[in-house]
Structures are given as C-alpha cells and as structure tokens.
Amino acid sequence: MIHVEAYRRMIGAQLNIGESRHNLARRVFFGNLGRLTRGYERGMENQLGALGLGLNAITWWNSLYLDAAANRLKAGGLTVGPQIRARLSPLLFEHINLHGSYPFHRPDLHGRLRELREVTAADAEPEQ
C-alpha cells in the first residue's frame, strides 16, 4: 500500500508540473486571446513556434536566477537541499511583465548574471 501512495504522489507532482506549464503558456498566449489567428498551416506553426520560444526563454531565465538565489543562500550559510531544489519551479511568471513593449538594452555584465535584488517587507505582502 505504501508503494501505491508514493506512486500516486509522484503522478500528482508530474500533473502539477504539466498544469504549471499550460498555465504559463495561456498567460503568454493572451495576445491573441488564446486563438491561432492565421488561416494557413504554416502561419499557425509560426505562432506556435514563437509561443514555444517565449516559454523556453522564460523557463531558462527563471532557472538561471533560481540557481543564483540558491547559491547566494548557500554562500550565506543556508543550504538548499536537494529535496527543496527538486520542488523549485522555473514555470512561475508573476514577476514577468506580459503586457506592453519590451526595450532590450543589453548591459555589459562580462558574462555574469545581473545582481539579485534584495527582498523587502513590501515584496512579501500579496498584491490587492
């Protein structure tokens, strides 16, 4: 019976990851209200390819900074164990501006990541 419960939890965790990915895709795809607007197959493939590129970029960016945050905690003496790291998800998007225009100014970071910002009490409070 214990094996069945562990298996059920593993399947539930995988389903949650899949739903997180679909939730992110829905939020990124909002510009066309979740509709493929091209009337021909190649245009639809282009739209879906752009969606995949956007999802991959968000996931990659979040992964880089989750790792940087965990390393900063480790440098400060707080170890983030493998059980906690396994539950971190790069599929979160609340911190990403999905509206408006996006100027891309590439700062000269010499191959480093930008500095992590410090968390304040105002950041910890949920938005109304």
Position 107 scores a pLDDT of 79
What mean pLDDT comes out for the span 81-99?
84
Give the tens place of pLDDT for each residue, 36-67. Answer: 666 667 777 877 788 888 889 999 999 999 99
Is residue 102 in a domain? no
Is there a contact between 59 and 81 (Cβ–Cβ < 8 Å)? Answer: no
Report if residue 111 sits inside a domain.
no
Mean residue pLDDT across the chain: 80
pLDDT at 103: 73
Residue 115 belongs to some domain of the structure: no
Top pLDDT among 102 and 4 is at 4
| Structural domains of the chain, count | 1
Please return the burial class of 106, using the count of CB atoms within 10 Å of its CB with bins 0-12, 13-18 and 19+: exposed
pLDDT greater than 60 at residue 108: yes
Structural domain for 63, as ranges: 2-96
pLDDT bracket for residue 113 (50, 70, 90): confident
